[in-house]
């Protein structure tokens, strides 16, 4: 029996609770083939946001199915509903059969992750989210300069001058670049190492800085990468990634600035880089990587969702 025959269709009567938040997942996610469902999430309720209405072609249950964690949403049939059930191990098959829906899921998850990450930042810092203005790169440079990390500082000064033409700090950046020119070799990776599909970054150098534009997604082959964010003048460590991990997907999928910095951590790092031009092709040709990506996004969203839920409950 082929994989296609294993894709089952389930039907639910109006008013049926298809999934319940907090319960174990059904081992599959669902694509709506007929009807409409309403999605309730405790976070949305505590923020006084209305429930989400999903229609034909929309999907639900992906986080629980792909992460293996309990459901993050309660889904109620608003009419008689028919859904296509896709188990986690069938995601690669779905990509081959319906690439647009697979891309829709990946982009939706990237958007959700950025939203939840932004919300978590606001809740934990107890203030408005930091500006996403590219000029903030100067503050990143100053942070590393004051903490003696000259290679990282010089990289950020250089990127500020490249991205903020005529900015108020250009002269200061230029002066420091010249004064500490002896660190330039440590600050910048050889262009041949950081172009093309295969990349290599020396230890303790930037792969990219927070607020930089970017259109590459990275898959670590060897080494470790630390993901950091500058909040209230302090560096916050968000994660340490290792071989097999994927990062940088939000900038690639949403065409927005980097939401955090990535730095080669303690050793040289080798990676594969995927850009916007070849991403769709990669999804089709290497569905296992796309499956890995959606699994990672699901795990990250579930973890952040629980953190936000706990924080909001603590404020009630």
Q: What is the pLDDT of residue 226?
A: 97
C-alpha gyration radius of the chain = 22
Tell whether 288 is covered by a domain: no
Domain shared by 83 and 163, yes or no? no
Q: What is the pLDDT of residue 314?
A: 63
Domain shared by 99 and 147, yes or no? no
Sign of CA dihedral 110, 112, 116, 118: positive
Cα 85 to Cα 64: distance, rounded to the nearest angstrom? 13
Tell whether 80 is covered by a domain: yes
Burial tier of 182 (Cβ tally within 10 Å: 0-12, 13-18, 19+)? exposed
Q: What is the pLDDT of residue 4?
A: 46
Domain shared by 223 and 274, yes or no? yes
Q: What is the pLDDT of residue 199?
A: 93
Q: Please state whether beta strands 216-222 and 37-40 pair in parallel, antiparallel, or not at all (unpaired).
A: unpaired
Q: What is the pLDDT of residue 125?
A: 63
Q: Please state whether beta strands 81-87 and 8-12 pair in parallel, antiparallel, or not at all (unpaired).
A: antiparallel
Cα 265 to Cα 202: distance, rounded to the nearest angstrom? 9
Tell whether 115 is covered by a domain: no
Q: What is the pLDDT of residue 130?
A: 47
Tell whether 42 is covered by a domain: yes
Tell whether 167 is covered by a domain: yes
Q: What is the pLDDT of residue 129?
A: 45
**What CATH code is carried by the domain that includes residue 154?**
2.60.120.10
Which strands form 28-34's sheet, in the order they lie side by side?
8-12, 81-87, 28-34, 59-60
Please give the backbone phi and psi of residue 221, each rounded to the nearest 5 degrees, phi first.
Answer: -100, -35
Q: Is 218 helix (H, G, I), strand (E, B) or coil?
A: strand
Q: What is the pLDDT of residue 194?
A: 81
Domain shared by 13 and 78, yes or no? yes
Q: What is the pLDDT of residue 315?
A: 57
Domain shared by 99 and 216, yes or no? no
Q: What is the pLDDT of residue 36?
A: 98
152 touches 205 (CB < 8 A) = yes
Cα 249 to Cα 254: distance, rounded to the nearest angstrom? 8
Tally of structural domains, the chain: 2
Domain shared by 254 and 198, yes or no? yes
Task: Output the DSSP codes for 66-95.
Answer: HH-SPPS-EEEESSSEEEEEEEGGGHHHHH
Going residue by residue through the chain, which has 316 residues, state the pLDDT in tens, using 9 for 90 and above: 454 447 889 999 999 999 999 998 788 999 999 999 999 999 888 888 899 999 999 999 999 998 899 999 999 999 999 999 998 888 888 887 787 887 888 888 777 877 887 787 777 764 444 455 888 999 999 999 999 999 999 999 999 999 998 999 999 999 999 999 999 999 999 888 887 789 999 999 999 999 999 888 899 999 999 999 998 889 999 889 999 888 988 777 777 889 899 999 989 999 988 887 777 777 778 888 778 888 888 888 888 888 888 887 765 4
Range of the domain at 206: 134-282
State if pTM tops 0.75: no
Domain shared by 98 and 139, yes or no? no
Tell whether 116 is covered by a domain: no
Nearest by Cα to 298 from 25, 4, 99, 20: 25
Cα 294 to Cα 312: distance, rounded to the nearest angstrom? 26
290 touches 102 (CB < 8 A) = yes
């Amino acid at each position: 029996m082929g994989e296609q025959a294993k894709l089952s269709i389930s039907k639910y009567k109006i008013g049926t609770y298809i999934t319940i938040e907090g319960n174990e997942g059904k081992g599959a996610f669902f694509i709506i083939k007929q009807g409409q469902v309403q999605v309730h999430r405790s976070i949305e309720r505590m923020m006084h946001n209305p429930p989400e209405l999903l229609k034909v072609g929309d999907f639900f249950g992906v986080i629980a199915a792909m992460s293996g964690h309990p459901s993050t949403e309660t889904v109620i049939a608003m009419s008689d509903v028919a859904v296509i059930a896709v188990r986690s191990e069938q995601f690669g098959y779905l990509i081959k059969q319906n690439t647009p829906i697979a891309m829709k899921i990946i982009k939706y998850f990237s958007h959700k992750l950025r939203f939840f990450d932004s919300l978590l930042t606001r809740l934990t810092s107890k203030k408005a989210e930091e500006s996403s203005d590219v000029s903030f790169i100067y503050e990143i440079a100053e942070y590393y300069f004051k903490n003696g990390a000259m290679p990282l500082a010089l990289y950020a000064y250089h990127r500020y001058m490249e991205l903020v033409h005529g900015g108020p700090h250009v002269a200061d950046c230029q002066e420091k670049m010249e004064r500490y020119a002896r660190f330039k070799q440590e600050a910048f990776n050889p262009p041949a190492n950081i172009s093309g599909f295969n990349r290599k970054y020396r230890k303790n150098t930037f792969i990219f800085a927070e607020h930089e534009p970017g259109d590459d997604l990275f898959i670590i082959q060897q080494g470790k990468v630390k993901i950091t964010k500058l909040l209230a003048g302090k560096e916050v460590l968000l994660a340490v990634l290792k071989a097999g991990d994927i990062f940088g997907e939000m900038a690639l999928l949403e065409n927005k600035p980097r939401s955090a910095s990535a730095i080669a951590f303690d050793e040289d790092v080798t990676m594969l880089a995927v850009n916007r031009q070849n991403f769709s092709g990669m999804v089709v040709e290497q569905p296992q990587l796309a499956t890995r990506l959606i699994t990672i996004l699901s795990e990250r969203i579930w973890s952040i969702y629980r953190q936000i839920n706990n924080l909001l409950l603590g404020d009630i």
